[in-house]
Structure 1
Amino acid sequence: MEKIQRKKMYEEVADRITQRLEDGQLKPGDRLPSVEALSKEFGVGRSAIREALSALRAINVLEMKHGEGTYIRTFQPQHMTFPSVSASLMKKEDIAHLLEVRQYLETGTAAAAAIRRTPDHLAEMKQSLALMKGTVIEEAADFAFHQTILTAAQNPLLQQLWNTISDMLKRAMRDTRRIWFEQETMSAQLHKEHKAIYLAIEKGDANEARTTMETHLRTVQRQWNEI
């Protein structure tokens, strides 16, 4: 049996830095403290800090500016090897691009789900829908609803595409929800749209499922543009 490998010191440091990025403590464009300062803060040697920074530069999380220091990069769609980290780098225009991708991906997925869904898929969607009812839509329930539709489409390639952007979707949902769902009318509207999607999939109407999903995503995109 293969032994479990302990993380190296520089990997622990890199994890701590990316966690701060994902938590919002660090943001794109922020300048990191010096190697010496980070060494004291994390209680490790300078070599471990340098290795950690080098590793994060290699995956396009950090960039070195000659004579200035090390900075958090802005979001780069061509570098999404680590989607959870990429999600933390997204700006408003990046989320707008993500919403456009959702239009392409989820309308077809909803149509496929209407044809291939099982009773279990419908039960999961119905459960998520129930959790979304009220003045505040639960973030996890909203994401789970869309995730179940993707699963119901029963297409492994679609699943892989979804997995690539799922962390970014969660980030976008969290950011927009803080503004939209304080409005009772918006919460009610979005619940109504989710219910329409569910009913279309439940009765196996692919065209209606596609249309209701498109209507919902257009609402999301319109509201985002107004922020």
Structure 2
Amino acid sequence: MIGEEDDVLLSRIDELREQLGPGKRLPSERALSERWNVSRVTLRDRIRAFESIGLLERRGTAGVYTREVQPEDLASILSIGFRATILANPHVFRSVRIALEMKAAVLALSLQAPVPLAYAEQATRVMETSTDPEELLQADRDFHHAILEASGDPGLKFVAKTFEKLTERSMTMVGGGDARAQIRDRYVRAHRQMLEAIRSGEAAQVLDAVSRHYSEVHPDLA
């Protein structure tokens, strides 16, 4: 259990990390232990807690440095915890995934970013011409990644990247490439309609296209 004194020390380390910014060296353990009147053993233990979640990194004898947390860092940290929650079930995770998808699609409609939408088009064309299960699955990944990029929202992309493993799990457990090949016509139509709605539709049409995508391609997730 973390006591009140530990909370204070953790808060001090976190505040110092934020003040310094990413890539900066922390003062020595001796200096910090004297500043905060704590033992170096206790201080080192709390610093290790920050290292374990990627907020600090120890560079050998050079000392401890701050670092900026990346989505993959959070994904690794959260993946263990998620396994013990209801989100580990892809059917439960569906509402989170659909909400992210809808928000990304509406933002993509407003932004009309040409490059990511071109990637979405390319992925859609692969779906329209391929019958290979693995190629279809990869095209699905590429399509949804492109829509997220087309949203232009850094926060949304960060959250989506953090949840990437859960999203992948929800895609494969309720139907992998083989399942996509079996419903190829519906599969292709749903993605094409979603892309066309983003390109030329209204927000209501985009939301309807995303909803139909899940009801036709992933009925278990709709």
Task: Please classify the TM superposition score into its range, dividing by the shorter chain length.
Answer: 0.5 to 0.7
- Partner of residue 151 from structure 2, selected from 142, 150, 153: 153
Structure 1 runs not aligned, ≥5 long: 3-57, 60-78
Residues 1:103 and 2:102 are matched in the alignment: no
Number of aligned residues: 149
Residues 52-91 of structure 1: pairs in structure 2 closer than 5 A: 81-82=76-77
Describe the shift of the 1:218–1:86 C-alpha distance in structure 2 as closer, same or farther (beyond 3 A): farther
Residue 138 of structure 1 corresponds to: 136
Task: Give the whole-Å Cα distance in 2 for the aligned partners of 1:83 and 1:220.
Answer: 28
- Which of 205, 210, 214 is matched with 2:207 structurally? 210
Q: Residues 187, 101 of structure 1: CA spacing in aligned structure 2 closer, same or farther, 3 A cutoff?
A: same
d(CA) in 1 for partners of 2:221, 2:208? 20
- Whole-angstrom CA distance in 1 between matches of 2:170 and 2:123: 19
1:83–1:168 Cα contact (<8 Å) kept: no
Structure 2 unmatched ranges of 5 or more: 1-22, 24-51, 54-73
**Structure-2 separation of matches of 1:141 and 1:87:** 27
Separation in 1, partners of 2:180, 2:124: 15
Query: Which residue in the other structure is 2:190 paired with?
Result: 193
What do you get for the CA RMSD once the two structures are aligned?
Answer: 3.3
On the 8 A contact 1:121/1:148 being kept in 2, the answer is yes
- Kept in 1: contact 2:137–2:180 (CA 8 A): no
SS of alignment partner, residue 163 of structure 2: helix
Which of 143, 162, 165 in structure 2 is aligned with 1:164? 162
**How big is the shift at 1:92?**
9.9
* 93 and 161 in structure 1: CA distance in 2 versus 1, 3 angstrom threshold: closer
**Partner SS state of residue 140, structure 1:** helix
Identity value in percent: 23
Structure ID, larger Rg: 2
User: 1:159 offset after TM fit, Å?
Assistant: 0.9
Instruction: Kindly provide the CA deviation profile for residues 58-103 of structure 1, in whole angstroms up to 9, marking residues without a partner as x.
Output: 99xxxxxxxxxxxxxxxxxxx9653566788899971001112112
Q: How does 1:25-40 map to 2 (within 5 A)?
A: none
Are the equivalent residues in 1 in contact too, given 2:193–2:209 (CA < 8 A)? yes
Alpha-carbon distance, 1:224 to partner = 5.6
TM-score where L is the length of structure 2 = 0.56
Q: CA deviation at 1:181?
A: 2.5
State the AA in 2 paired with 1:106: E
For residue 110 of structure 2, the aligned residue among 95, 112, 115 is: 115
Does the Cα contact within 8 Å between 1:151 and 1:159 map onto a contact in 2?
yes
TM-score, normalised via structure 1 length: 0.55
Shift of 1:167: 1.5
121 and 156 in structure 1: CA distance in 2 versus 1, 3 angstrom threshold: same
Letter in 2 for 1:170: E
Larger helix percent: 2
Q: CA deviation at 1:149?
A: 0.8
Q: Distance in 1 between matches of 2:78 and 2:178?
A: 24
Tell whether the 8 Å contact from 1:110 to 1:149 is kept in structure 2 after alignment. yes
1:49 — aligned with what?
none
